[in-house]
Structure 1
Amino acid sequence: MKQKGFRYLAWVPKPKPRTDVDKAAGGDYEAMKRVRSKRGFNVFIDVLDSDSERDQAAVTAGDDPNSAIRESLSKAQSRSYDKALNGCQVKAVKDVTGKNISSMADEFEQYETSYKAAVERELNGDPELVELASAMGDCLKGKGYRVDSVSPTGMSERGYREFSARMNAIAKKQGLVDAGADDNTVYRPRLSQAEANKYLAEETKAALDDLECGKSFYADFGPKAGGIAARLDSEFGRWTL
């Protein structure tokens, strides 16, 4: 960056303390129970809490001293800065990892392609996980819950998708859903605190039932899913905190 005429400070982020959310993502039963008792599947809690813990990245842009440098530039200078930074990042990735990328957008696409392939192979193709997911599905069906897919990733996403669809249905009735919106977009409806609390109570109960049925599944799924992310982060030269 300095060779391209920009001030840039070498910076490595400090690891943040692991939270219950981090532990829950790794399949820790007690942490999952604490998080789900409060937040359910992390859907309706967002209506009550816009600054949700799950949305707080381990490293924020404000932590990077170079953010202040960029913000001090004019719009034209910022565009030049971003172009220079992209080129320097591409060179760094190639030098460190040997990856042949044309831009950081290309790096993102390659990462996503590798991640999806690894998930399909190592999670949905894992015989032990498949068996545990099937058992979890049978348990939830026995409790009256709808189960559309018993693939490992399907079971891990089931609760979030169910309550996201419910929230989108409310938002749609209120005219807040864009035409042609896909299933991956979640719209926040207008709800009173009492209404949001009611939906959240239903969600937390469902999330705890899901956890009890999937206790063994999550204990196996969490570390394996985390292992894929850590391995690819290292392979692509990303930070692993």
Structure 2
Amino acid sequence: MPYRHRVAAGALCAAMLTGCVSATEADPEPGAGGADASKQQAQRIQSAIADCMKQQGFKYVAWVPEQDALEEFDKASSGDYEAMRRERSSHGFGVFDLLADPGGKRVVWSESDSPNHTIKNELSDAQRAAYDKALTSCGNAAIKQVTGRVVTSEADRAEQRNKLIDQTLERELNGEPRLVELAAAMGDCLKGKGYRVDSLKPVDLDRRGAREFEAQKRALAMKDDIPERDLPEGRYYEPRLPQATAKQYLGREIKAALDDLECGRDFYAAYLPRKRAISAQVGDLFGGGGI
């Protein structure tokens, strides 16, 4: 069986309600409205979906997953040096870690946790197809009702959200004088260690390491025996690698990630809290995480 596909620019594991959210894929902390406001928004979306599904003749339970605190991950994603070092010592940039250790992904919630998973599995194949079609339609309508955003699917919602996050980060952070100064120092340090640095823009520098190893993994995926057919643009099946080989790639990734952290210790401490706040604020415009 082929590996699940993932987005080259950053893993997404999302579908309309179903799918999974892992620690490295989880949404940032809520934006200006706070955790309660974000949760209430998610509950309104779920209630709207449940009402719509009932009108379509399907049973659906309004369900908002309770996510673990993930204190260690939260610290790392906020620029805490010690937490980032512990994270990168095991997972690098988060590219080859799942291939090297298939059981090592830290899942916050999965499809089977939802009561709707059982409801759907009790349906026939034809009924499940109709259920999925109705859920997509109801999910789109609920997003528009609660947030005013027009989406065509959960994938489209994620794409719109991520695009706006990227645009906002680039507009607000790439020209911030202190971040520009810290990024230049980090870039000089990385070049001194022999790493290639194509851009000193803060947003690009933050993404540099993960993109480098993602490109390596994509190249491996294009060469293996799994055909990349019928996938959305930019997606591919995880490459089929012997675990020992994947661990070698992860070892190189961990070294690079730790070097990157040492050079960017001051940069990340200033940049990541800003990035996290912007990502959360934009995410709230689309109703937070996956439906």
Give the TM-score category using the shorter length: 0.7 to 0.9
SS at 1:206 equivalent: helix
Kindly tell me the number of residue pairs found equivalent between the two proteins.
Answer: 235
CA contact (8 A) 2:100 2:250 kept: no
Question: Unaligned stretches of 5+ in structure 2?
Answer: 1-52
Question: Unaligned stretches of 5+ in structure 1?
Answer: none
For residues 99 and 126 of structure 2, what CA distance do their matches in structure 1 show?
Answer: 38
SS at 1:2 equivalent: helix
For residues 186 and 79 of structure 1, what CA distance do their matches in structure 2 show?
Answer: 24
Give the corresponding residue for 2:92. 40
Give the corresponding residue for 2:36. none
Change (3 A) 1:160 1:73: same
SS at 1:59 equivalent: strand
From 52, 56, 67, the counterpart of 1:15: 67
Verify: 1:104 aligned to 2:153, yes or no.
yes
From 145, 154, 160, the counterpart of 1:95: 145
**TM-score, with structure 2 as normaliser:** 0.69
For residues 234 and 153 of structure 2, what CA distance do their matches in structure 1 show?
Answer: 27
For residues 148 and 184 of structure 1, what CA distance do their matches in structure 2 show?
Answer: 24
- Per-residue deviation at 1:165? 3.7
- Post-superposition Cα deviations, 1:182-212, rounded to whole Å, max 9, x if no partner, equal 987585363462x544443333222111101
Give the corresponding residue for 2:54. 2
Give the corresponding residue for 1:128. 178
Task: Say which structure, 1 or 2, has more relative contact order (CA 8 Å, 6+ apart).
Answer: 2
- Per-residue deviation at 1:3? 1.9
- Per-residue deviation at 1:117? 1.6
Verify: 1:139 aligned to 2:189, yes or no.
yes
For residues 187 and 220 of structure 1, what CA distance do their matches in structure 2 show?
Answer: 33
Q: Which contiguous aligned blocks of 4+ residues in structure 1 show a shift greater than 6 angstroms? A: none
Change (3 A) 1:66 1:205: same
For residues 165 and 270 of structure 2, what CA distance do their matches in structure 1 show?
Answer: 18
* Higher strand content, 1 or 2: 2
Considering only CA atoms, is the larger Rg found in Structure 1 or Structure 2?
1
- Per-residue deviation at 1:18? 1.0
State the one-letter code of the partner of 2:282: L
Please give the root-mean-square deviation of Cα atoms over the aligned residues, in Å. 3.1
Change (3 A) 1:95 1:46: closer
Change (3 A) 1:70 1:184: closer
**Identity of matched residues, %:** 46
**TM-score, with structure 1 as normaliser:** 0.81
For residues 29 and 37 of structure 1, what CA distance do their matches in structure 2 show?
Answer: 12
Change (3 A) 1:89 1:36: same
SS at 1:32 equivalent: helix
Give the corresponding residue for 1:190. 241
1:192-231 maps to which residues of 2 (within 5 A)?
193=244, 195-231=245-281
Change (3 A) 1:197 1:61: closer
Give the corresponding residue for 1:162. 212
State the one-letter code of the partner of 1:25: S
Verify: 1:59 aligned to 2:109, yes or no.
yes
CA contact (8 A) 2:143 2:151 kept: no
